[in-house]
Structure 1
């Protein structure tokens, strides 16, 4: 958990929020799912949904929303 908290404190432009979102959905870490979505939503909600859907397992992650 400490690593995730550290990443949330950093500039999100250098890490793949869509991939992190998908991974969090896959392991049912709903708190992280919500935080990742909120972090990305501040940038561009529609682009996030398109980007997440384009990843392997991304459609399931988008359905989670």
Structure 2
């Protein structure tokens, strides 16, 4: 898992638009699924930031920590 985390850390920007998640991860992680889990409060809030009223940004490091625990 550490190798996967390092590869994703090298590939993903520190903060990025949630809508770009599918493309950035090669559809391994789907934005639609993340939105559903976020609405159910199953993803820590520190994984996200808001930009304006509607745009949701993903904060890479806490998001990867959460996601890697989920798939382990």
Normalised by the size of structure 1, how large is the TM-score?
0.27
Normalised by the size of structure 2, how large is the TM-score?
0.26
When Rg is computed on C-alpha atoms for both structures, the one with the higher figure is 2
Considering fraction of residues, name the structure with more strand. Answer: 2
